[in-house]
Structure 1
């Protein structure tokens, strides 16, 4: 270990992603990071992975300063428990699904009794919780009426005493930028990511996106990550693309006028911020951190209503100042949600804790 490092940090996560990679890079600035991938998607190997994680902790915990878990759940139970037993510090970076419950679509850790127990134990026994937005701690919820009227960790753990400190996601505004001469008119894009349950389409608002495409036949609608979707009577103006990575996504965002995110639940969505850096005008649902991210740089759908969405999109299409609004959206992210701000706050929290 380099003499410049302040000790070792064990980092637990459940899937590879650019967000994970960025946080590991940040923590590795001051600490030697030893990561552990807990693949919860292969249900047949859960017991094996838990045993493997336990052995990893026995080999590494005693020489570590702290453990960091990306989200709370099954994968955070042993790290938090062992850290508490052996007087180490534990941190949970909460991002969304671990803070909510939407029984109507079977989404969120608190929507499942067993996951709720594991998540509750992790949050209550951790040393520090770092949500990516304040709405993940507690918020009113008005977007749709099928579930709880309040969401967030303290809605489901009102007795929580663990310290929480909000650290927003941060983005590279040099990497993400508008790289074309002009935007294609009347173009809407959304990013689906991975379809890992039958409720994903509702969760991510794809049902509304497809429905609204039918009402604007003169416009073009694109779903990135939707290539395998089986849609009945797919609108002719709807394009389904496979997942796109890296600079190619920059090109796709730059070509589109509007970025649409109509999710039922979100924390601090990366695709929204990246699209805004590419000067897409955002159209989002009033959930999670999205209204805060967008502010006055786009359009916010207050309720899950196709009629309200039609009015919103019609207003957006008739806006004659879209170029300036797109530039304003970029400046919003560039000024408020930088990689450097997340880096500095995350390292400061770890320094104070450890």
Structure 2
């Protein structure tokens, strides 16, 4: 039996991050899904991709309930505009850089006038925007900035008129599991996801935004503790990586299975970012029974709660003290229990269905 247009959802695949792919898998299990892959670079490919997207949307939108995608960027204009033309719905998941403007780090979508105009149009005119944390709507960053700086679309998108509904990401507690008995080493793990294919200057800025230089100094203060920073290579670290302390490992980018093994071994997970959304790495490490230590920005304190340590300033002494306390506390199941209870996949899936069918 053929499905009606109320059963069909269009998805723009803008990211291969596990949280994005998880949404797509769930929506496929519930609706008749059609997917279009967005390609942002190089610019010539972007233009060709947008032309193909326009044709694809014009053909599929009249036969669908609406279009769903994560992150607002250049490509956001077409799905929102054509959804209005065809009187269909559009839902945008806001994940981080689409709700921030940090010109010091060239971070966010609001630094270029054309890009900012496109994103503001899309957010204003979408059926609903779904930030993964409340701070992406109306947050304040007092950790990285003095005086504190407003963050979120409430301050970045004037005359906001669409529905805004916070729908936190969910995390796979069946994959991210601790080792039997939560056996741990005197190891601190951190991750810094730096986009590949960008310039070395851009990657170096992103490493700074993720707080890696600060963490290297913390490691230097704690020579008897092993640190592992997953992701960036030496070439994008301060002074080309020549200042990396001897107790710091740089294993590069890892598969989810390899990353899980690091989390299973580590007593502490550290996340000293200057800005965030709702970082999956913090939740995944907590599911592996790491004690979390994170900066007081965006969704990090909401994830950690009272199961770890939230640092309120990017000060080396404060970070070293927090990491030391976390090592002394040792691993327990409290961090895992919090993520399972408050940030489950089932909860996110239920809320997504409420939004789409509402």
Q: TM-score range by the shorter chain?
A: over 0.9
Q: SS state of the match for residue 218, structure 1?
A: coil
RMSD of aligned Cα (Å): 1.9
In the alignment, does 2:282 pair up with 1:282?
Answer: no
In the alignment, does 2:77 pair up with 1:77?
Answer: yes
* Residues 180, 255 of structure 1: 8 Å contact kept: no
Partner of 1:256: 266
Alpha-carbon distance change, 5 to 77 in structure 1, aligned in 2, over 3 angstroms: closer
Q: Give unmatched runs, 5+ long, in structure 2.
A: none
Deviations 1:179-212 (A, max 9, x none): 2445444311111223442311111111111121
Partner of 1:308: 318
Q: Given the two structures, how large is their TM-score scaled by the length of structure 1? A: 0.93
In the alignment, does 2:69 pair up with 1:59?
Answer: no
Partner of 1:221: 227
Structure 1 window deviating more from structure 2 (92-101 vs 222-231): it is 222-231
Partner of 1:132: 132
Q: SS state of the match for residue 267, structure 2?
A: strand
Deviations 1:29-48 (A, max 9, x none): 33111111111132332211
Q: SS state of the match for residue 187, structure 2?
A: strand
In the alignment, does 2:330 pair up with 1:322?
Answer: yes
Q: Give unmatched runs, 5+ long, in structure 1.
A: none
Alignment of 1:133-148 (within 5 A): 133-145=133-145
The alpha carbon displacement at 1:153 in A equals 0.4
The alpha carbon displacement at 1:128 in A equals 0.5
In the alignment, does 2:218 pair up with 1:212?
Answer: yes
Tell me the distance in 2 between the aligned counterparts of 1:6 and 1:81: 20
The alpha carbon displacement at 1:226 in A equals 2.4
Tell me the distance in 2 between the aligned counterparts of 1:69 and 1:46: 17
Match of 2:339 among 333, 336, 342: 333
Aligned length: 348
Partner of 2:31: 31
Q: SS state of the match for residue 282, structure 1?
A: strand
Tell me the distance in 2 between the aligned counterparts of 1:10 and 1:237: 48
Partner of 1:343: 349
Q: Which consecutive aligned stretches of 4+ in structure 1 deviate over 6 angstroms post-superposition?
A: none
